[in-house]
Amino acid sequence: MDTILRINMSGKNGPEIKKESMGDYAGLGGRGLTSMIIAREVPPTCHPLGEDNKLVIAPGMLSGSAAAISGRMSVGCKSPLTGGIKESNSGGQPAQVLARLGYAAIVLEGRPENDDLYKIFINKDGVKIEADNSLKMLPNYDLVEKMKNEHGDKICCISIGPAGEMKMSAASIAFTDMELRPSRHAGRGGIGAVMGSKHVKAIVLDDTGMSTREPKEPEKFKEANKLFTEGLKKHPVTGEGLPAYGTNVLANIINEAGAYPTNNFQKGQFEGTSKISGETLAELETERGGMATHGCHRGCVIRCSGIFHDKDGKFLTKQPEYETVWAHGANCGIDDLDSIAMMDFMDDNYGLDTIEMGATIAVAMEAGLAEFGDAEAAIKLLKEVGEGTPLGRILGNGAAITARAYGIERAPVVKGQAMPAYDPRAVQGIGVTYATSTMGADHTSGYAIATNVLKVGGYVDPLKEDGQIDLSRNLQIATAAIDSTGMCLFIAFAILDQPETFQALIDLLNSFYGLSMTADDVTELGKKILKAEREFNAKAGFTSKHDRLPDYFKKEPVAPHNVTFTVKDEELDKVFNW
């Protein structure tokens, strides 16, 4: 995995393929690599859909190896949704396969002058790119079926649906799962629109004939992997809670806490939660012959996903995740799992971010386009997006644009990106991360390892009044580093509670690359990434004024606790003081 594959879509005689060594990017992977390439090579003021923007697709440092749960793929670019730097990541098979094929990144550059739509095929023999206009406006599931017919079932795919082709700011990039279904998405920030702007519909990967990446120190690596896997399996969250109920196990708890945004963030509790909770979802999946426990890629030991069947027992979609169930459920006042699962499928098929679309439909409901709780109307609105009707074009560009088009103040966005499923008034520390993240409102930006395990910036007293500022900073640093490894963020809590599991992760990296990194080095990597991202955003025109929640979160109390967001602006400005 020491090659960067660059494809210049502006070539005079069609796309030009160039392979180069890692050069100054050596030692980087995942978010570290995507953000460094974007920060260094993309003019911050360029138009996100213009020829100067680049789309970087990079597996993590340990992807393609035997390391457990190392199959996350990062995608970076300048975001059409936020106007700032973006890294969005996904599970699925392609990270492992691309890494085994020897590529540390694919960089799509330039923009074709014609209207052709391209397909890229990569296998052990090399890279082919060809125009294939028969793929135009195919939804993801149909597209993958076509690729399967053409290339066999040993492939995996990275693709965009019609939303990406229409360059909508809520467009995602799909990654196929173990069953070769396009059910995993790098959803946030409109990265699918950037792939669409490059006229690339699909990247098909086939690693037949390639082998697993070998570590420099095999014995140490094997031992570290064993300890790491044991640590994940013995921890109650990664070993029991997640496999049994999936991420949606959070619904009941967040609702109980009054932090479950309901009806476009008007309330913090939804009375229909027990009908859409992870517990109920898992029961329904099992009852209908689906699966309540399933991995999104080979090598996952947590297996937090599942398979959702319809009322007739036929596959409808993968298990909708917590954020999706919330976005299309409680946030729109909908308590019907079948409708939510249908919208999850439609998002995946059209190639849309489920969080952005749920938030957008809720804004549309507040604007009077439908009633809260009307699942049929919500599905109809989503269909408009997939079909690209004039209304659909507005909705497909996200919650902020929709709110502006309909004169709605209550747009739950930061830097143009919709907030995920936690009300920042009830969980103020999450609000700090939403406000200050380089990515726009993003719960995963400050997600990983406990500050007091890494001791990033010294010991933090969580009971201190400003503990949430320090914690948010340190979580964001740690997350940036973890996002570079290819590891799923859900490893974070086994690491938090079990120092030996954290050490096993460091040992995995060290034995694989023959390094002698310490926790401090991991911290430095996280800081370096965040610094590059912040600098890019500053040059793109972002100031501290953009590190704020919308005003109404400071004014409108949310029930049941009747709290507002009270963290002061000057406190928010301290997050990146290190």
What residues between 400 and 429 interact with another protein by CB under 8 A? 422, 426-429
Residue 258 lies near another protein (rule: CB under 8 A): yes
Task: State in angstroms the smallest separation of the CB of 174 from another protein.
Answer: 23
Q: Does 465 bind another protein (CB under 8 A)?
A: yes
Please state the closest distance from residue 79 (CB atom) to another protein, in A: 22
Indicate if the alpha-carbon torsion angle 311, 315, 319, 320 is positive or negative: negative
Looking from the CA of 400 toward its CB, the CA atoms found within 13 Å total 20
Asked whether position 187 contacts another protein by CB under 8 A, the answer is no
Task: Give the shortest CB-119-to-another protein separation in angstroms.
Answer: 36
The most distant pair of C-alpha atoms in the chain lies apart, rounded to whole Å, by 63
Q: How far is the CB of 428 from another protein (least distance, A)?
A: 6
x/- track of binding to another protein for residues 496-525 (CB under 8 A): x-----------------------------
DSSP label at 238? I
Specify the residue, 71 or 278, whose C-beta has the smaller distance to another protein: 278
Q: What are the two backbone dihedrals, phi and then psi, of residue 58, each rounded to the nearest 5 degrees?
A: -135, 125
By CB neighbour count within 10 A (0-12 exposed, 13-18 middle, 19+ buried), where does 368 fall?
A: exposed
CA 558/CA 513 separation, integer angstroms: 49
CB of 468: closest distance to another protein in angstroms? 5
Could you say whether residue 91 binds another protein (CB under 8 A)?
no
Q: Which stretch binds another protein (CB under 8 A): 98-106, 253-261, 330-338, 364-372?
A: 253-261
Pick one of 133, 208, 518, 566: the residue that binds another protein (CB under 8 A): 566
The 8-class DSSP code of residue 546 comes to: G
Phi/psi-derived region of residue 258, left when phi > 0, alpha when psi is between -120 and 50, beta in every other case = left
- Which one, 238 or 397, has the nearer CB to another protein? 238
Token code pair at residue 511: 């034995």
Q: Report the 10 Å Cβ neighbour count for 518.
A: 11
User: CA 217 to CA 115: how far, in whole Å?
Assistant: 49
CB of 433 to another protein, least distance (A): 9
| Per-residue H/E/C for 419-466 | CCCCCCCCCHHHHHHHHHCCCCCCHHHHCCCCHHHHCCCCCCCCCCCC
Q: How far is the CB of 282 from another protein (least distance, A)?
A: 9
Please choose, out of 4-12, 92-100, 214-222, 231-239, the segment that lies near another protein by the rule CB under 8 A. Answer: 231-239
Minimum CB–partner distance for residue 276 and another protein (Å): 11
For the CB of residue 359, give the shortest distance to another protein in the complex, in Å. 18
d(CA 33, CA 486): 11
Exposed / middle / buried, residue 469 (Cβ in 10 Å: 0-12, 13-18, 19+) = buried
- Which member of 399, 475, 482, 575 binds another protein (CB under 8 A)? 475
Quick one: 436 or 510, whose CB is closer to another protein?
436
Window contacting another protein (CB under 8 A); options: 142-150, 384-392, 468-476, 545-553: 468-476
One of 262, 269, 501, 510 touching another protein (CB under 8 A): 269
Identify the helix (H) or strand (E) that includes residue 478: helix 467-485
- Please tell me the distance from the alpha carbon of residue 49 to that of residue 78, in angstroms, as a whole number: 9
* Position 468 contacts another protein (CB under 8 A): yes
State which residue, 402 or 436, has the beta carbon closest to another protein. 436
CA dihedral 482, 488, 493, 495 (to 10 degrees): -50
3-state secondary structure of 55: strand
Candidate segments 33-41, 59-67, 159-167, 446-454, binder of another protein by CB under 8 A: 446-454
Task: Name the burial class of residue 208, with classes exposed (0-12), middle (13-18) and buried (19+) by CB atoms within 10 angstroms of its CB.
Answer: exposed
Kindly state the smallest distance separating residue 129's Cβ from another protein, in Å: 39
Phi, psi (rounded to 5 degrees) for 104: -85, -25
Site string for another protein, 291-310 (x = CB under 8 A): -------------x------
Residue 281 CB, nearest approach to another protein (Å): 11
- 68 near another protein, judged by CB under 8 A: no
Q: Which is nearer to another protein, 327 or 401 (CB)?
A: 327
Listed residue (315, 265, 269, 272) closest to 290, CA to CA? 315
Residues 311-370 that bind another protein (CB under 8 A): 322
CB 561 within 8 A of CB 269: no
What is the C-alpha separation between 157 and 102, in angstroms, rounded? Answer: 17
User: Is position 549 an interface residue for another protein (rule: CB under 8 A)?
Assistant: no
- Site for another protein (CB under 8 A): how many residues? 59
d(CA 118, CA 128): 10
Q: Which of 263, 286, 503, 544 binds another protein (CB under 8 A)?
A: 286
Q: Check if the beta carbon of residue 96 is closer than 8 Å to that of residue 297.
A: yes
Counting contacts by CB under 8 A, is residue 146 touching another protein?
no
* Identity at 259, one-letter amino acid code: A
Nearest CA-CA partner of 577 in 518, 519, 534, 546: 534
Smallest distance from another protein to CB 256, Å: 5
User: Which residues does residue 418 pair with via DSSP β-bridges, in sequence order?
Assistant: 413
Given the complex with another protein, which of 247 and 262 has the nearer CB atom?
Answer: 247
The binder of another protein chosen from 26, 226, 253, 371 (CB under 8 A): 253
- Asked if 252 touches another protein (CB under 8 A), the answer is yes
Structure tokens at 316: 């409808």
* Type of residue found at 378: A
Of the two residues 121 and 245, which places its CB atom closer to another protein in the complex?
245
563 near another protein, judged by CB under 8 A: yes
Single out the segment in contact with another protein by CB under 8 A; choices: 110-118, 175-183, 364-372, 440-448.
440-448
Residues that bind another protein (CB under 8 A): 235-238, 240-242, 244-245, 247, 249-250, 252-254, 256-259, 269, 274-275, 277-280, 283, 286-287, 304, 322, 422, 426-430, 443, 446-447, 450-452, 462-465, 467-468, 471, 475, 490, 492-493, 496, 560-561, 563, 566
